[in-house]
């Protein structure tokens, strides 16, 4: 089967930790043909179908020159490949939004796209948690500086974050002294022009910001706890957090088993839930990571589970 990965440039992959690479490696081991393009390559013209110039490639096993092109780049309709796997990293900007519309048109033409383009649009990663208030801590979404100040006065120690950030980008902690609260809000909300999220600071972050992968509605039995290092408050691996695989706690499993089937029914084959302590903090749907770290440390083959689920979805 031909599998198309819509992703960042192959040349930029860090294969020693990249989850998309782990998917590719597992798919290739089963005899699937690998194809790639970038979102900017997608195009549609009246009278035709959504297509892109697709790069066919094989895996070499070399850690550096890890892929080898196969033949010429060919303009191909997405409906003519077996499955399209959308793995473009955030930010979820206007161009990402437009790409989901092109991918949805490709679905109308017969393409099978994972995760569902409509579901990607309907589940912004910071705001998707609002649907599940029973699992989240005190949270505020607003443009108003006054609202944030009232929230801080109530909770004393808070986290502020932009709605379109990734990898811990733009996250601030404001403690009981309120130092720089006004300046931080002005920076994040751009004078009231943009919406921000505030959450009560969860002290359990010292034990890690847990990434729980949910595949086909079912949780992977190990979470990746991303533990802040040094003076950092952020556990994100992108800012130096230490990733430690650990079995799901009872609360982790409760959250995942409640939310997973709901999201899977909407076309989200792969989801990454972020949990600190007992509280859900984010729902990641664009390109959840952690496959290789969990597999290496626990022995549970996440990529195998994902490709199993993909093949199962395609068979239905």
Q: What is the DSSP string of 260-272?
A: HHHHHTTT-SEEE
Catalytic residue, from 104, 145, 209, 274: name it.
Answer: 274
Q: How many CA atoms lie within 13 A of 122 on its CB side?
A: 11
Going by the DSSP 8-state scheme, the letter that residue 178 receives in this structure is -
Tell me how far apart the alpha carbons of residues 241 and 235 are, in angstroms, rounded to a whole number.
Answer: 4
Q: Are 117 and 101 a contacting pair, CB within 8 Å? A: yes
Catalytic-residue membership of 118 = no
123: phi then psi, degrees, rounded to nearest 5:
-130, 65
How many CB atoms lie under 10 A from the CB of residue 79? 17
Backbone phi, psi, residue 150, to 5°: -65, -40
pLDDT value of residue 6? 98
**Which runs of E-coded beta strand occur in the chain?**
2-6, 33-37, 51-59, 67-69, 74-77, 83-86, 113-114, 139-142, 158-162, 172-174, 196-200, 209-215, 218-219, 222-227, 242-247, 270-276, 279-284
**Of 211, 236, 252, 293, catalytic:** 211
Q: Assign 273 to helix, strand or coil.
A: strand
For residues 3 and 249, what is the distance between their CA atoms, to the nearest angstrom?
A: 34
How confident is the model at residue 190, as a pLDDT?
93
Catalytic annotation, pick one of 87, 126, 200, 210: 126
Q: What is the CATH number of domain 138-201?
A: 3.30.1490.20
Nearest to 96 by CA among 161, 166, 49: 166
Q: Which of 104, 189, 234, 293 is catalytic?
A: 234
Active-site annotation holds for 161:
yes
Annotated catalytic residue 211: yes
- Could you list the pLDDT tens digit for every one of the 316 residues in the chain? 999 999 999 999 999 999 999 999 999 999 999 999 999 999 999 999 999 999 999 999 998 899 999 999 999 999 999 999 999 998 888 999 999 999 999 999 999 999 999 999 999 999 999 999 999 999 999 999 999 999 999 999 999 999 987 777 889 999 999 999 999 999 999 999 999 999 999 999 999 999 999 999 999 999 999 998 887 777 777 777 899 999 999 999 999 999 999 999 999 999 999 999 999 999 999 999 999 999 999 999 999 999 999 999 999 8
- Give, in degrees to the nearest 5, the angle at Cα 89 between 83 and 94: 95
| Chain-centre distance for alpha carbon 288 | 3
The CATH code belonging to domain 2-115 is: 3.40.50.20
C-alpha distances (whole Å) from 138 to each of 133, 182, 201 are 9, 20, 9
Task: Based on the residue annotation, tell me whether 200 is a catalytic residue of this protein.
Answer: no
Cα angle 62, 239, 159 (rounded to 5 degrees) comes to 150
Spatial contact of 85 and 37, defined as CB atoms under 8 Å apart:
no
Question: What CATH number should be reported for the domain whose range is 204-302?
Answer: 3.30.470.20
Residue 121 falls in the annotated catalytic set = no
Neighbours of 274 (CB within 10 A): 21
CA atoms within a 13 Å half-sphere pointing along the CA-CB vector of 173: 13
315 near 37, Cβ under 8 Å? no
Res 233: pLDDT: 78
> Domain segments of the chain: what residues?
2-115, 138-201, 204-302
pLDDT at residue 23, rounded to an integer: 98
- At residue 310, what are phi and psi to the nearest 5 degrees? -60, -50
| 273: β partners | 212, 283
Which position has the token pair 């509605």?
217
Of these residues, 226, 236, 252, 293, which one is catalytic? 226
Of 161, 200, 209, 252, which one is the catalytic site residue? 161
Q: Is 87 a catalytic residue?
A: no
Whether 284 sits among the annotated catalytic residues: the reply is yes
């Amino acid at each position: 089967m031909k599998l198309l990965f819509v992703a960042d440039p192959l040349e930029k992959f860090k294969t020693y930790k990249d989850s998309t690479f782990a998917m590719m490696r597992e798919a290739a081991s089963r005899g699937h043909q690998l194809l790639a393009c970038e979102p900017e390559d997608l195009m549609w013209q009246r009278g035709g179908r959504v297509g892109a110039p697709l790069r066919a490639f094989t895996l070499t096993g070399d850690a550096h020159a890890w892929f080898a092109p196969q033949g010429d780049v060919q303009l191909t309709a997405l409906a003519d490949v077996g499955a399209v796997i959308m793995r473009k990293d955030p930010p979820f900007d206007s161009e990402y939004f437009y790409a989901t519309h092109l991918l949805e048109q490709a679905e109308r033409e017969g393409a099978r796209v994972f995760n569902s383009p409509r579901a990607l649009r309907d589940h912004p990663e910071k705001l998707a948690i609002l649907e599940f208030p029973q699992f989240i801590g005190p949270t505020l979404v607003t443009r108003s500086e006054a609202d944030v100040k009232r929230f801080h006065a109530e909770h004393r120690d808070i986290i502020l974050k932009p709605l379109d950030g990734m990898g811990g980008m733009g996250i601030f902690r404001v403690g009981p002294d309120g130092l720089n609260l006004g300046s931080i809000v002005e920076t994040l909300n751009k004078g009231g022009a943009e919406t921000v999220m505030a959450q009560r600071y969860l002290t359990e972050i010292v034990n890690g910001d847990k990434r729980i992968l949910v595949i086909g509605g079912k949780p992977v039995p190990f979470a990746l706890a991303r533990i802040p290092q040094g003076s950092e408050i952020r556990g994100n691996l992108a800012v130096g957090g230490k990733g430690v695989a650990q079995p799901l706690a009872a609360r982790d499993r409760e959250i995942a088993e409640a939310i997973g089937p709901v999201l899977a029914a909407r076309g989200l084959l792969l989801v990454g839930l972020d949990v600190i302590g007992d509280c859900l903090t984010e729902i990641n749907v664009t390109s959840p990571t952690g496959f290789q770290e969990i597999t290496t440390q626990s022995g549970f083959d996440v990529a195998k589970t994902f490709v199993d689920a993909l093949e199962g979805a395609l068979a239905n």
